[in-house]
Amino acid sequence: MTVTTGNATDGTEPNGQGGAEDVAYTPEDLVDWVESLAAILESVDRSQNQYWCSQWWNHPEAVDRFRALYEQWLGAQAEGGMSSWWIDHFDRHATILFAKRGPFGECGTTHTEKTARRILGTEQPPMNWSW
Ligand SMILES: [Zn+2]
């Protein structure tokens, strides 16, 4: 149960919101927004091999993607561009979020705690590494 709390240093200001350093929304705002979004989604359907988890907040990748979507949504609400939000943002994330291999793919009607979360390993490059 790790809800990411907003830190002022993680650069989450919505687009065009005056450059305030404070995060313009709270974790509760995000929860409310995701609940509202989930309530209207008819295109996500298990029979179409799409997956959802009612504990979406238990999936760090999903939380990060929803935060990104929420920030774009705030901008689209303020400045217009909801069609672009759906097509260029929601649809693009949805292909990952709700896929069998996506964050919710192992969850059924209830959240399934991963016994071994698949984490991509990384190693430090050599000291003289460059591009
Ligand atoms: Zn889950």
CA of 120 to the centre of ligand 1 (A): 19
CA of 10 to the centre of ligand 1 (A): 25
In this prediction, residue 22 carries a pLDDT of 56
Residue 15 included in any domain: no
Domain enclosing residue 66, as ranges: 51-113
CA of 27 to the centre of ligand 1 (A): 18
In this prediction, residue 34 carries a pLDDT of 98
How many other CB atoms sit within 10 Å of the CB of residue 96?
13
In this prediction, residue 8 carries a pLDDT of 44
Residue 29 included in any domain: no
CA of 68 to the centre of ligand 1 (A): 19
CA of 108 to the centre of ligand 1 (A): 8
CA of 65 to the centre of ligand 1 (A): 15
In this prediction, residue 46 carries a pLDDT of 86
CA of 110 to the centre of ligand 1 (A): 7
Residue 72 included in any domain: yes
Can you give the pTM of this predicted structure? 0.76
Residue 98 included in any domain: yes
Residue 127 included in any domain: no
CA of 12 to the centre of ligand 1 (A): 25
In the chain, how many domains are there? Answer: 1
CA of 117 to the centre of ligand 1 (A): 12
Residue 44 included in any domain: no
Residue 39 included in any domain: no
Residue 125 included in any domain: no
CA of 124 to the centre of ligand 1 (A): 31
Digitized pLDDT (tens) for each residue of the chain, 131 residues in all? 444 444 444 444 454 444 444 568 999 999 999 999 999 999 888 888 899 999 999 999 999 999 999 999 999 999 999 999 999 999 999 999 999 999 999 998 889 887 666 778 899 999 999 99
Tell me how far apart the alpha carbons of residues 75 and 66 are, in angstroms, rounded to a whole number.
Answer: 14
27-30 contacts at long range (C-beta below 8 A, 24 or more positions apart): 27/3, 29/70, 30/63, 30/66, 30/67, 30/70
